[in-house]
A and B are shown apart, each in its own frame.
Chain A
Amino acid sequence: MSSIAVELTGITKRFPGVVANADVNIAVRAGTVHAIVGENGAGKSTLMKILYGMQRPDEGTIKVDGAEVAFHSPADAIKAGIGMVHQHFMLADNLTVLENVVLGNEPRAGGRLDFRAARARIKEISDRYGLGVEPNRLVDDLGVGERQRVEILKVLYRGARILILDEPTAVLVPQEVDELFGNLRELKAEGLTILFISHKLDEVLSVADEITVIRRGTTVATVSPAEVTARRLAELMVGSALPVPELRESTVTDTTVLDVAGLTVTSADGRTVLDDVSFTINAGEVLGIAGVEGNGQAELVEALMGIRPLSAGTVKLRGKDINRMSTRDRRDAGVAYIPEDRHRQGVLLEATLWENRILGHQTKKPNVRGPLIDRRAAKADTQRIVDQYDVRTPSIDVFAAALSGGNQQKLIVGREMSGNPVLLIASHPTRGVDVGAQAAIWEHIRRARAEHLAVLLISADLDELIGMSDRLAVILRGRLVSYCDPKTVTPEDLGSAMTGAGEEVA
């Protein structure tokens, strides 16, 4: 059995008002690929930033090769032999591979840059690990996979023995993923240790020697890929919540509220992130979208909200084409939106609760009178939301940042349910909230459905999806690949449909 290369014990990291990591324990054996999986927001990135010296833990110890270390900056981590390959490449396009690799670590010989020695070393590293990197090529000419190998070479050049790869496959196409995994196996064979962060379970299972699951900021299990399935991993990632999400009798009507046809979205770098997606939602119906995160859900929501432009397709709201409408016009037309990341899109943290009540409803009564803000009416209505939706706060004049996540979310739900919407887009509505708030939010979604709203529900919580949806669609690599009946489907079936393991479900 090999020795322990990295050991994290009792790591806890708090940010104002939130705990990003709580009592994290991980032991990574030298010469292995160790995967860290968890949902977005589970605390993986914070943990890696701690290990790479970008954040300092509030509690806990880090040991590298058995010796306790305290990193004050990435430079300390590099010195200890830890290198990080970021999800977003940090390369200068108009420099050569050689120049990029030596940047900030230039080899000198008598006051001059010694490119010859550097070139020889890059060649040597590239050959040893089978990276196939050409030092003289311009980075601008390289493909995504090649750029990633340059990034890996960059950290190896700086003497890293332990590599952190943050969501390395997010930007790659399947063939490139296979190549990357080939490289990783070679690195491992040469005795390097790799920490692989991902939420794509099939990839993790194929490349990792050990897998640690993080949920809500803490490590919940360390398993071997041989003894676990993608389904089981998904369950570990998502966890099981205490309140049971379920719908009562069907309220589905035959009025179509949202009609999406042929929706296609291309990302800035030219990849197709949503491919010919079509579906309808009727009044009084909840359509759940199941999928492993990063398969196009966020893009779907942003396209429907008018935040992200479409490459093709039409979106109709109550029979009216809203393709050309701005986000504000869509909101005015009755689209309510609970965003996936409430701190980024849902609230203004450093604004009061009543100002947050106005956010997204700047054109609607009671918040405004003509071009003017109606402070008194907005405040009164905020108080109504606080009372009706059980937002626990001493006052509506405090900053949103002062509330817990669950209470922020209840405020958002209350706000979005105001003003008689016809369609509710709920993206991970109960993520990161406590159990009480979760049950309350489910109740509000049920009530919205009973009041004949059409609801699009996106979630990573399979129980929530199965319990709260009238129909379920599975999204995989930007396509809706199958529909399931939530009355009969099990989380296991759904999990394998999500990972593409079994295409024929229910």
Chain B
Amino acid sequence: MRRLSLRAVLLGLAAPVGALVFAAAVCSVILVVTGHSPADVVDSMSASLDRPRTTVIAVNNATNYYLAAVAVAIGFRMNLFNIGVDGQYRLAAMLSAALAGASFMDGLPSVLRVALTMIAAVLVGAFWAGIAGFLKVTRGVSEVISTIMLNAIATALVAFLLNPNRLAVLEGNDIHTPTITSGGQVPGIPYSGSSTEVHGLILVAVAIGVLYWFVLARTRFGFDLKATGLSESAAVASGVSVKKMVLASMLLSGAVAGLVGMPELLGGAHSYSLNFPPGIGFIGIAVALLGRNHPIGMAFAALLWGYLDASSNGLDVAGIPKEIVAIMQGVIVLSVVVAYELVRRYRVRLEQREVGKALGTIKVPEVVGS
């Protein structure tokens, strides 16, 4: 049924495109009501696209957001809400930064240093998410609650460790982990016309995306994950151990979350300080929703988000409050969730009708209830 699958693609696009149009309309109304011209906003935002530096920042933002979105999506695929990506990546970035900046690392070959840093981040992220997974499996604690609380604990833990007596150094007024020397850094990719470079670890984000697709679509583990997400009772009857799946997907989600801070740490900041970008975990939730947990969909969503954030700075210059971008992002997320559900129901009904037509029969009414 090629026909059906082509239409499935169109239906899949209908929801995000519709949500974007709706969000643009809502923002236009808000702008007009507050006495700004929507045309100015469009001008300013599209003008910023022409500046190479904005493009690079947008792509770098998108790299971080994409990794966070994949981390969230792994949980989403089986109805597990890892709200704790934020705490997981911050703790992972901080601890791996301390490791990467440690003086004994100086003597090691560059590849090994970078690899060790990233492995440390992955392990810390997995461990931190694993706590929530463990609590859910053994004590039935909702992962929503536990990951939110673990976020708060991570914040406190980072603040505690980021102290000259512990893992940080004081440099002027700035407290940060020891700066990673050049051998432990990942070089950027130059982009003509911009002094800022594209993070080299964008390749890791791409690799994670491919891996995510492969595991979900092609492996037994991915099948079990998807089955659990679609119907836990059917998955259990098919022999899936839901507890094992919960733990495994929390660990994987946390592992990817651990990587979220890496492009920035190894490609830009070179140390973990109080200025390290916060909140990427929450953006990841929005991006995963917009991209519908799809590896390519999330890439587009991450780029859109990254671009919206990068171009918002130009708005202030044009005299338009840049908060309009946050409003736009919020409206997109809310409307896309509604739109996806509508499209999903429509699609199921449409296919039932199609099949009925193709068989030349009206479906035998079946009884459900109770």
Task: Report which A residues bind B (CB closer than 8 A).
Answer: 14-22, 40-47, 216-217, 305, 307, 326-332, 337, 339, 343-351, 355, 358-363, 368, 371-373, 375, 392-395, 397-399, 401-406, 432-434
Contact call B234/A359, Cβ cutoff below 8 A = yes
**A373 pairs with B219, CB closer than 8 A:** yes
Which residues of chain A are near B7, meaning CB under 8 Å?
Answer: none
The answer to whether A345 and B351 touch (CB under 8 A), given A328-B239, A371-B219, is no
What are the interface flags for B202-220 relative to A under an 8 Å C-beta threshold, 1 for contact and 0 otherwise?
0000000000000001111
From 236 to 268 in chain B, residues with beta carbon under 8 angstroms from any chain A beta carbon are 236-241
Q: In the complex, are the beta carbons of B234 and A344 less than 8 A apart?
A: yes
Which residues in B have their C-beta under 8 angstroms from that of A393? 355, 359
Residue B10 is within 8 A (CB to CB) of chain A in the complex:
no
19 contacts between A and B (CB under 8 A): A14-B365, A15-B368, A20-B369, A42-B370, A43-B368, A330-B239, A348-B234, A349-B231, A361-B238, A362-B224, A363-B239, A371-B221, A372-B219, A372-B220, A373-B217, A392-B359, A394-B354, A394-B355, A402-B352
Candidates A347, A362, A371, A394; contact of B359 at CB < 8 Å: A394
Q: Mark B168-202, 1 if CB is under 8 A from A, else 0.
A: 00000000000000000000000000000000000
CA A18 to CA B359, docked complex, whole Å: 17
The answer to whether A371 and B220 have CB atoms under 8 Å apart is: yes
Tell me which of B219, B239, B359 has the highest count of chain A C-beta atoms within 10 A of its own C-beta. Answer: B239
Q: Is the CB of B349 within 8 A of A16?
A: yes
Does B348 sit at the interface, judged by CB under 8 A? yes
Q: How large is the interface on B (under 10, 10 to 19, 20 to 34, 35 or more residues)?
A: 35 or more
Known: A346-B234, A350-B348. A326 touches B220 (CB 8 A): no
Cα distance A297–B233 in the bound complex, in angstroms: 17
5 further interface pairs, Cβ-Cβ under 8 Å (given A20-B367, A397-B4): A20-B369, A41-B367, A347-B234, A399-B351, A432-B368
Does B226 sit within 8 A of A, measured CB to CB?
Answer: yes
Chain B residues in 8 Å Cβ range of A358? 223
**Closest Cβ of chain A: how far from B364's Cβ, in Å?**
4
Q: CB of B32 within 8 A of chain A?
A: no
From known contacts A328-B239, A371-B219, A397-B1, infer whether A348 and B227 are also in contact, taking CB-CB under 8 Å: yes
- Which residues of chain A are within 8 angstroms of B358 by Cβ–Cβ distance? 394
Q: How far is the CA of A452 from the CA of B263 in the complex (A)?
A: 61
Query: Hey, which chain A residues are within 8 Å of B370, CB to CB?
Result: 40-46
Q: Which residues of B lie under 8 Å from residue A217 when comparing CB positions?
A: 365, 367, 369
Taking a contact as CB atoms closer than 8 A, the residue among B226, B351, B369 that contacts A42 in the complex is B369
Query: In the complex, what residues of B have CB within 8 A of residue A361's CB?
Result: 238
Q: B135 — which chain A residues lie within 8 A by C-beta?
A: none
B363 within 8 A of A: yes
A327 contact set on B, CB distance < 8 A = 236-241
Residue of A with least CB distance to B231: A348
A351 to B352 CA separation, bound complex (whole angstroms):
13
- Is B220 in contact with A368, judged by CB distance below 8 angstroms? yes
Is A307 a contact of B237 with CB atoms below 8 Å? yes
Name the distance in Å between A391's Cβ and chain B's nearest Cβ: 11
In the bound complex, residues from chain B placing their C-beta under 8 Å from that of A360 are 237-239
| Among all A-B residue pairs, the 3 with the closest Cβ atoms | A328-B239, A405-B366, A19-B365
Please tell me if the beta carbons of A373 and B218 are within 8 angstroms of each other in the complex: yes
Given A392-B359, A434-B364, also A344-B233 (CB < 8 A) = yes
Q: Chain B residues in contact with chain A, CB under 8 A?
A: 1, 4-5, 217-224, 226-227, 230-231, 233-234, 236-241, 344-345, 348-349, 351-352, 354-355, 358-359, 361, 363-370
Given contacts A368-B220, A394-B359, A405-B364, contact A345 B369 (CB under 8 A): no
Q: B367, A216: Cβ atoms under 8 Å? A: yes
Do residues B369 and A41 form an inter-chain contact, with CB atoms below 8 A?
yes
**Docked complex Cα distance between A372 and B361 (Å):** 37
Report the bound CA distance from A360 to B235 in whole Å: 8
CB-defined contacts of A392 to chain B, threshold 8 Å? 359, 361
Cα separation A351 to B230 with both chains bound (whole Å): 8
* CB-based contact B366/A328 at 8 Å: no
* Pair B369/A363 contact, Cβ less than 8 Å: no
Best-surrounded residue of B222, B227, B355, B367 (most CB of chain A within 10 A): B367
With both beta carbons as reference points, the residue of chain B lying nearest to A218 in the complex is identified as B367
Closest to A301 in B: B237
CB proximity of B130 to chain A, nearest CB, Å: 22
Residues in chain B near residue A45, CB distance under 8 A: 369-370
B240 touches A328 (CB 8 A): yes
Note all chain A residues with C-beta closer than 8 A to B236: 307, 327, 345
List residues of chain B with CB within 8 A of the CB of A19.
365-367
The minimal Cβ–Cβ distance linking A375 to chain B, given in whole angstroms, is: 8
With both beta carbons as reference points, the residue of chain A lying nearest to B228 in the complex is identified as A348
Shortest B15–chain A CB gap in Å is 16
Q: How far is the CB of B103 from chain A (nearest CB, A)?
A: 42
Residues B355 and A402 in contact, CB atoms below 8 Å apart: yes
CA distance A489 to B5 in the complex (A): 53
Task: Report A-chain residues with C-beta under 8 Å of the C-beta of B226.
Answer: 351, 355
Q: What residues of chain A lie closer than 8 Å to B217, measured between beta carbons?
A: 373
State in angstroms the CA–CA spacing of A46 and B5 once bound together: 34
Is B369's CB under 8 angstroms from A44's CB?
Answer: yes
Interface core residue of B1, B4, B5, B237 (most chain A CB under 10 Å):
B237
CA distance A45 to B370 in the complex (A): 5
Are B351 and A401 in touch, CB under 8 angstroms?
Answer: yes
Which of B234, B344, B363 sits near A17, CB closer than 8 Å?
B363
Q: Chain B residue with minimal CB distance to A368?
A: B220
Residues in A with CB closer than 8 Å to B223 are 355, 358, 362, 373
